[in-house]
Structure 1
Amino acid sequence: MAAARLTPNGVAAALAGDTNLKPVVQIVELRGVNVNGAGVARSDRFRAVVSDGASTSPALFAAQLSDLARSGVLRHSGIVQLVDYVINDVGPRRIIVILNLEVLVSECEIIGNPKMLSETGFPDPNPSRVEQFNGAPQYGLMAVNSSNTTTRPIDNVSVFQRSMAGNSSNIATRPSDKIPVFQPTVQPSYCPAPNYKNHGTIMKNEAPARIIPISALNPYQGRWAIKARVTAKGDIRRYHNAKGDGKVFSFDLLDSDGGEIRVTCFNALLDRFYEVVEVGKVYVVSRGNLRPAQKNYNHLNNEWEILLENGSTVDLCPDEDGSIPSQRFDFRPINVIEDAQNNAILDIIGVVTSVNPGTTIQRKNGMETQKRTMNLKDMSGRSVEVTMWGEFCNREGSQLQEMVECGVFPVLAVKAGKVNDFSGKSVGTISSTQLFINPDFAEAHSLRQWFDSGGRDASTPSISRDITPAASRNEVRKTVTQIKDESLGMGDRPDWVTVKATVIFFKSDSFCYTACPNMIGDRQCNKKVTKGSTGNWCCDRCDKEFDDCDYRYLLQLQIQDHSGTTWATAFQEAGQELLGCSARELYALKERDDPRFGDAMLDCLFQDYLLRLKVKEETYGDERRVKITVAKVERVDPSGESKYLLDLISRSSALY
C-alpha cells in the first residue's frame, strides 16, 4: 500500500498568511460554481476542499484554472502543489484562492482523516509549530509495510513524472514495489509572514492587500489590489432615472499578464477619481465591488467589472520596469469581418486609401453629430468602410484626410470598433474606440511593407455597401409590387427591404410636426406639443410648458418603380436626407412664403434613390393595413448600381 506524504499542517500554515509556502495538499471535494447561470458542464468557476491529511480548508480556483477541472486534469482525491495563492476573508472564515498549481497525482485514496479547522482548532504560528515544520523530512512517498505497520523511506526508485494531463500511465515504478514516487519543489520552512512579525494578535484587514493578477479577481475576495495601466478613459455621461440625475465614467485597465477589466465610478466617486486617472499611466487599484460585466457596453474579455466604492483607492505607481504593455490588440483580418455578427466589437488594422469629408447629421434623439467615412485595406485581399463619429471626425479624421490628400497613405489601427451589417459590413467608432495612426508595432510595419511593395495596386474588393457587388449580398432587393404580392410585413416581425425607386409626390401641407424640445437624460422627448392659451407650447408627456418647440419631419410621399407605386412615411433622418435641410429651416421658408420652399420640394422629385424600407402591418382603429417607413435614403450611384446588376446577371447565369 502506498500513501503520499502531504505537507504537515500545510493548510493551517497557508491560512496563517504565509503565501511563500508551497504546500502539497489533496483535493477532497470539487464542484462547479455557476456564476453566470451556465450549465453544470460549463461551470464558470470551481470550488474545492483541500486537505493536508489532518485539516481541511475551503478553496476557490482562479478562472484560468477552470479548464483543468473541466478536462479532468483536476479531480477529486488528486494531489496538487499550490504554487501561487492568496488568502481571503469571507465572513468569519478564511478561504484559499488558488492562482497557480502543479498536479502531482491525478487520483488516489483519501489520505488520513482530515477535519475542518473549525473542529481541530486554528493553530497560531508559534516556535513549537516552526520547529515542527523545520524538522519535517523532504516530502515524498513512504512505503507502508502492512505486516508490521512500520514505514520506511523509498529509495532507488524512478521519480514520478509530473503530468498535467493526469495520465496514470506516466507514473514510473520499480517492479518490486510498484509504488509511484514524486518529488515536489523543496518546501520552505514555515515561519510567520513578514507583515505579521511581532504584532501579537492581528486585527482584521491590518495587513496591506496583496497585488494579484486581474485574471484572479473574483467576488469572493475580501481585500485585493491590482497593478495595471489605463488603456482607455471614457467621457463623463449624464443620466436620469427614477432615483434622479447622475453622472458616470469608466476606464479600462491592462496588467502585465494581459488581463483586462473595466472600472466604473458614479457621482461623488467620479469627482474624486476623474482627474486622477490618465491614459497610459500605471495605478494600483484596491477595494472595489466586483459585479458581472454588462456585455452590451463592456467589450473586454472579462466576466467581471469593478465598481469603485467609498473605501476604494486609485494610487499612481511608477512604471519602473515597463512590464505592462501600453495596449492589447486582437486584430481580425478584414475578410473575417464579413462573417462577423452585427454589433460585434473587434480590433482591425489596415492602410487608409481614402477619406471622405465630414458631414453633420441629426441622430434619433434630435442631437446633431459629425460623421466621416474612410476605407481601409489589408493583406487579406479585402477592404472595409470605417465610419468615424463625433470628435473622431475632427481629431483623427481631419489628420487622416490631410495625409491622404498629400499622397501619404497611413496605417490605422482601430481598437474596439463596432461591426454594422446594414447593406454590407462596415465598422464604426463608439465611445470606447481608440484610433492609432502609424503605430509602432510589428503588425503595422508588416502592413506598411506589404503596401509599399505592391499592395497599393492589389485588387481588394470591399465588404461594405455600394462599392462592389459584395455589398448586395447583405441586402434584400424587392420591387414595389413584390411588397404586396409576397405579403411582406404580415408576420410577427417587420420585413426590411431595399427598393430602387423614384419619389414622385410629397404632401407639402403637413411635412413636419411640432415636437417637445425637453431633454430626458441624453434623449429629446420629441412628443407632439400644442400651443396653449398662454402662447407657450405644452407637452402632455413631460407636463411642462416651453417658449419654443422643435420641428421634426413627418413626410408622406409616394414612390414608384417599374412595377408600380406605393405610399411611404419618412421621419426625421430620412426626411432630412431627402430634402437636404432641417425641418425647422424648411418650415421657416414656408412661413415666409419663400420660393425656396417649393424649390426644395421639387429638387428631390423624380430622382432615383435606394430606399431602405421597414414594412410592418399595424392596426388603425378597427382596420389593419401595412405601413411602409423609409429608414434610409441614398442617391443611386451609377457605378455601384451597374456593378450590382452585373453581379446579379453573373449569379443568375451560374444557375443554368
Structure 2
Amino acid sequence: MAVNLTPNAIAAINEGDVNSKPLLQVLEVKVFGTNSGNRQERCRLVLSDGVSTQHAMLATQLNDRVKAGSIRRGSIIQLIEYICSNIQNRKIIVVLNLETIIPDCQIIGNPRTLTESNSTANTTASTASAYQNPEHLRATGNIMNARSSSLDVQSSRPTVQAPGQIKTNSMQSYHPMVQPPYQPPPNYRGHGAIIKNEAPAHIVPIAALNPYQGRWAIKARVTLKGDLRRYNNARGDGKVFSFDLLDSDGGEIRVTCFNAVVDRFYDIIEVGKVYVISKGSLKPAQKNFNHLNNAWEIFLEAISTVDLCPDEDASIPKQQFSFRSINEIEFAENNAILDVIGIVISVNPSTPILRKNGMETLRRILNLKDESGWSVELTMWGDFCNREGQKLQDMLDSGLSPVLAVKAGKVSDFSGKSIGTISATQLFINPDFPEAHRLRRWFDSGGRNTASQSISREVTPGGPKNEIRKLVSQIKDEGLGRSDRPDWVTIKATVVFIKTDNFCYTACPLMIGDRQCNKKVTKSGDTRWQCDRCNQKFEECDYRYLLQVQIQDHTGLTWVTAFQESAEEMLGCSAKELYFLRYEEEDDARFSEIIKASLFKQYLFRLKIKEELYGDEQRLKIAVVKADRVDYAAESRHLVDLVARKNQL
C-alpha cells in the first residue's frame, strides 16, 4: 500500500511545532542501558519524513512497545505527544506518546540528516543569490580576471608531459569559486560578560524529563511532603527532606533537598499546592526508598527555583491512585508498594512496640474488606495510630463503617499477606472518589452482611474456611507448588518418621517491631551469642524447631518441614527443652521416648507447597503451617458430606 509521510515534518518539529501529529518512519532502533542498579533502559530512534532524519528518544513508559516489536526498523508511526529538546548541542525529539500505523514497511525515499539537508540547501541558495547580485558579480569578475592573468603567465612556462598523459587546457579544468566578503573575527575583549539567556524555561511533562536536557521547568502539584530528617555520616551532620509531585499528564516524580536547600524550600512547600520548579538536577531514583513510577529523581540546588502558582490548576488532579482489589494482594510480591481501598470492619487498640534500635513506637491493627469477598489486615505504625487510627476506632464504636483508601501501603507475606504503613503512606477516610462511592453503595445494599475470608495471619488460604483437601499422591500428580504462587492444601496423614539430627537451631531472641528476629546466631569469642542481622551480642539465645518429618496416607508418603508451633504440637515440648535434654543432660533414653511417642499419630496438616531454587536446582519445599490432631467426629461429618456431594453428581 502507498504510504505518504508528513512532508517537512522533521524541519517543522525542529522549529518548535509540537501539535501537527506527523506520520514518520523509523529507520533505526537502539536500546541502551540496563535495569540493573540505578541505570534505566532507554530506547533511541532515528525518524524520517522521507527527506530528512532526526534522532529521537522514547519515554521510558513506551519501552515495552519496542520489546513487543510494534516499533522496529521500517515501522510507520504517528507522533501524538512530543517535544524537541537541545541535548549536548544537538536537537533530539523526545516522544511521549505515539501510535504504530504500519508495523513493517520498506524504507521510503532517500532521507538524510536534517543538518546535511540544510547545509546543501544553504550552499545552493547562497550561490544563486551571489550570481543575482550585480555588485558581487563585478567583484567576482575582477577576481576572475586576476586569476586569468595568473593562469596565462603559468601557461607560458614550459611543461613536461608524462607519457600517455592527455594534454588539456588549464582553463578548462578551472571551476570558479564564489568568495564571501571578508569579515574580521569578532573581538570580545573589553566588552564585558556575555549575556545569558534569561528567558523562562519551557514547561515540559514530568514523563519527558531526562538528564540530557538543558533548561527545563515542570508544573505540578505536591501530593506528599516528607518529614525533615537529620543524619550523620563521614562528611558530618546534615538534614534532608523530600516531596512528591504529580502533573496534569499523570507523571510523578520525587524531589529531594539537602542542608542549605532545605532551609530555602521546606517552609514554602505545602501539600496540595501547585508549583513551577526549574533548574534542578536529575539523578537515578533510589528504588529501595522511592516507590514512584519514574526512573529519575530531582535534586534541588542553590540555583533552583520553586514558584507557587497563585491560580488553582484544575487540570492537575489532587492525587493519583492505582487501586488493587484485596483478593489480588494475595498474589502480590513481598515488599511491593500498592494502593488499596476497603470498608473498615474492625480496629484494635494501639499497643507499644519496642523497635530494634531501642526506640518505642505504636502499632494498631485494623481489617478491611471489599466486594471481592476477601479481607486484609492493615498494620498502622507510629503517628498513624493516634491520628487516623483513633478516628477510625471512634467511628466504628459509634456504629459507622468508614471507607479507607490507602496510598502506598507495603505488602508483607509473613503468615499470609498483610499491608503495613511506611513513611510515604497516606490514609484517606471516606474520600470523595468514585471507587469509594461504589464501595459504600455495595456495603449499604447488602455487603455489610456478606461473609469475607481473610488473607492475613491466622486465617490462611489453607484454613478451615476455604479448606482444599488433597492426598499425598496428588502433590506430585497435580504438580502442586510449581506455579508462580504457592499452593495451600490440607492433608490428613500419619507421622511415620522424624529426623533427630539438627532438629532445631539457635535463634536470635531480639524483637524487630512486633516480631522476633529468629535469625540463626553463633557464639563469638567471648562465649556470647551474636546475631549478624541485628549486629548485637547477648548472653542467652532462643531455640527454634526445624524438624524434618515424613508423613504418609493410603496413597503414599512425603517429607515436610515443621517449624516452631507445628513441631511443638507434634512433640509436646519446646525446642529448648528437647535440646537441653539431649545435649546438656545427655538423657538419650528420655529423648528417644519423646520421639517415639510422637510417631504414628494422625494429624490434619495445613501445608504450604512451593518450588524454590537451591543453587542451580529446583526443589519442592513443603512447609507445615499448622498441625491439628484429627477430630474424628468432625472428620466423620466431612466424609459424610463428601459422599453426599458425590451422590448428587
TM, length-normalised to structure 2: 0.60
Which runs of no fewer than 5 residues in structure 2 stay unpaired?
Answer: 127-193, 465-486, 507-527, 545-563, 578-625, 644-649
Distance, in Å, in 2 between the alignment partners of 1:325 and 1:285 is 18
Aligned counterpart for 2:500 among listed residues 485, 495, 512 = 485
Counterpart Cα distance in 1 of 2:446 and 2:5: 66
Alpha-carbon separation, structure 1, partners of 2:36 and 2:432: 42
The question of 1:231 aligning with 2:229 is answered: no
Provide, for residues 173-206 of structure 1, a one-character-per-residue CA deviation record: whole Å limited to 9, x for no partner.
Answer: xxxxxxxxxxxxxxxxxxxxxxxxxxxxx97754
Q: Say if 1:347 and 1:415, in contact at 8 Å, map to a contact too.
A: yes
Residues 46 and 66, structure 1, Cα contact 8 Å, conserved in 2: yes
The separation in 1 between residues aligned to 2:459 and 2:385, in whole angstroms, is: 22
**Taking structure 1 as reference, are residues 419 and 6 closer, same or farther at Cα in structure 2, changes over 3 Å only?**
closer
Provide the secondary structure at the position in 2 that maps to 1:415.
strand
Q: Which has the larger radius of gyration?
A: 2
Q: 1:474 and 1:449, CA in 2 relative to 1: closer, same or farther beyond 3 A?
A: same
Between stretches 374-383 and 233-242, larger displacement belongs to 233-242
Q: Secondary structure at the match of 1:414?
A: strand
1:6, 1:26 within 8 Å by CA — same for their partners in 2? no
For each residue in 1:376-399, what CA deviation from the matched residue of structure 2 results, as whole angstroms up to 9, or x when unmatched? 111111111111100000111111
2:571 equivalent in structure 1: 563
Structure 2 matches for 1:168-247, cutoff 5 A?
205-247=197-239
Per-residue CA deviation, residues 293-333 of structure 1 (Å, 9 max, x unaligned), is 22222222222222222332222124545111111111111
**RCO higher in 1 or 2 (8 Å CA, sep ≥ 6)?**
1
CA distance in 1, matches of 2:198, 2:77: 30
SS in 1 for 2:346: strand
Q: Which runs of 5+ in 1 are unaligned?
A: 129-201, 492-512, 516-523, 529-551, 570-639
What does the per-residue CA deviation read over 1:72-106, in whole Å, with 9 as the maximum and x for residues that have no partner?
A: 44333455555543232222323222334565665
> Alpha-carbon deviation of 1:20?
5.4
The one of 47, 52, 56 equivalent to 1:50 is: 47
Distance in 2 (CA, whole Å) between partners of 1:244 and 1:644 is: 63
Q: Which residue identity does 1:31 align to in structure 2?
A: K
The two structures, once aligned, show a CA RMSD in angstroms of 4.6
Paired with 1:89 and 1:554, the residues of 2 have a C-alpha distance of 65
Q: Does 1:90 align with 2:87?
A: yes
Matched, 1:387 2:386: no
1:252 to partner: Cα distance: 1.3
What's 1:15 paired with?
14
Code of the aligned partner of 2:106: C
- Determine the structure 2 residue equivalent to 1:285: 277
The aligned runs of 1:59-208 (5 Å cut-off) are 59-78=56-75, 80=77, 82-101=79-98, 107-112=105-110, 114-115=112-113, 117=115, 121=119, 205-208=197-200
> Is the contact between residue 28 and residue 110 of structure 1 (CA under 8 Å) also seen in structure 2?
no
What displacement does 1:652 show? 10
Aligned pairs (5 A) from 1:388-467: 388-467=380-459
Q: Measured at CA, do residues 415 and 275 of structure 1 come closer, stay the same or move farther in structure 2, by a change above 3 Å? A: same
Matched letter for residue 422 of structure 2 = I
Residues 226-235 or 302-311, more deviating: 302-311
Q: Distance in 2 between matches of 1:432 and 1:483?
A: 47
Q: Which residue of 2 aligns with 1:348?
A: 340
State the alpha-carbon separation in 2 of the partners of residues 441 and 76 from structure 1: 44
The equivalent residue for 2:304 is 312
**In structure 2, what is the Cα distance between the partners aligned to 1:646 and 1:338?**
32
> Secondary structure of the equivalent of 2:91?
strand
> What is the distance in 1 between the residues matched to 2:633 and 2:208?
53
The amino acid of 1:28's aligned partner reads L
Distance 2:629 2:371 in 1: 24
In structure 2, C-alpha distance between the alignment counterparts of 1:648 and 1:274, rounded to whole Å: 63
1:11 Cα deviation from its structure 2 partner: 3.6
Specify the code of the residue in structure 2 equivalent to 1:331.
Answer: F
Give the SS at the match of 2:427: strand
- In structure 2, the CA distance between the partners of 1:403 and 1:566, relative to structure 1 (3 Å rule), is closer
Report if aligned partners of 1:44, 1:63 keep a CA contact under 8 Å in 2: yes
- 1:647 and 1:422 mapped to 2: Cα distance? 32
Task: State the SS of the aligned residue for 1:309.
Answer: coil
The one of 311, 314, 331 aligned to 1:339: 331
1:374 to 366, 387, 398: 366
Residues of 2 paired with 1:300 and 1:285: CA distance? 18
Distance in 1 separating the partners of 2:539 and 2:501: 30
For 1:27, the equivalent position in structure 2 comes to 26
Question: Could you say if the C-alpha distance between residues 441 and 330 of structure 1 is closer, same or farther in structure 2, counting changes exceeding 3 Å?
Answer: same
Does structure 2 conserve the Cα–Cα contact (< 8 Å) formed by 1:469 and 1:647?
A: no
1:439 shift after superposition? 0.8
Are 1:403 and 1:410, in contact at CA under 8 Å, matched by a contact in 2? yes
State how far apart, in whole Å, the 1-side matches of 2:539 and 2:397 are: 37
Q: Deviations over 1:208-261 (max 9, x none)?
A: 322222222222222222221111111122223332222222111112222222
Deviation at 1:469, TM superposition (A): 7.2
3-state SS, counterpart of residue 419 of structure 2? strand
- Residue identity in the other structure for 1:85: Y
Equivalent residue letter for 1:7 = P
Asked if the contact 1:293/1:303 (under 8 Å) is kept, the reply is: yes
Provide the secondary structure at the position in 2 that maps to 1:310.
coil
Distance 1:122 1:482, change over 3 A: farther
Say whether 1:303 aligns with 2:295. Answer: yes
> How many residues are matched?
455
Q: How does 1:484-503 map to 2 (within 5 A)?
A: 485=500, 487=502
Question: Does the CA-based 8 Å contact 1:3-1:111 persist in structure 2?
Answer: no
Alignment-mate amino acid for residue 381 of structure 1? G
SS in structure 2 opposite 1:275?
coil
Amino acid at match of 2:93: I
Task: Report deviation, 1:474.
Answer: 8.0
CA contact (8 A) 1:284 1:316 kept: yes
Residues 210 and 483 (structure 1), Cα distance of their counterparts in 2 relative to 1, 3 Å cut: farther
For 2:290 and 2:87, the matched residues in 1 are separated by: 28
Following superposition, the deviation at residue 25 of structure 1 comes to: 4.8
Identity of aligned residues (%): 56
1:463-478 matches, cutoff 5 A: 463-467=455-459
Q: 1:447 to 1:651 in 2, by over 3 A?
A: farther
Query: Match of 2:184?
Result: none
Structure 2 CA distance, aligned partners of 1:284 and 1:58? Answer: 29
Cα distance in 1 for residues equivalent to 2:69 and 2:543: 66
SS at match of 1:283: strand
Deviation at 1:641, TM superposition (A): 10
- Equivalent residue of 1:465, what SS? coil
Shift of 1:371: 0.7
Q: By how many angstroms is 1:454 displaced?
A: 2.0
Is the contact between residue 75 and residue 107 of structure 1 (CA under 8 Å) also seen in structure 2? no
Whole-Å separation in 1 of the counterparts to 2:421 and 2:463: 20
1:323 aligns with 2:315: yes
Distance 1:408 1:359 in 2: 23
Does the CA contact (< 8 Å) of 1:334 and 1:380 recur in 2?
yes
| TM-score, normalisation: structure 1 | 0.59
Look up the match of 2:35.
36
1:361 matched to 2:322? The reply is: no
Contact kept? 2:226, 2:424, Cα under 8 Å: yes
Change (3 A) 1:89 1:562: closer
In structure 1, C-alpha distance between the alignment counterparts of 2:633 and 2:301, rounded to whole Å = 58
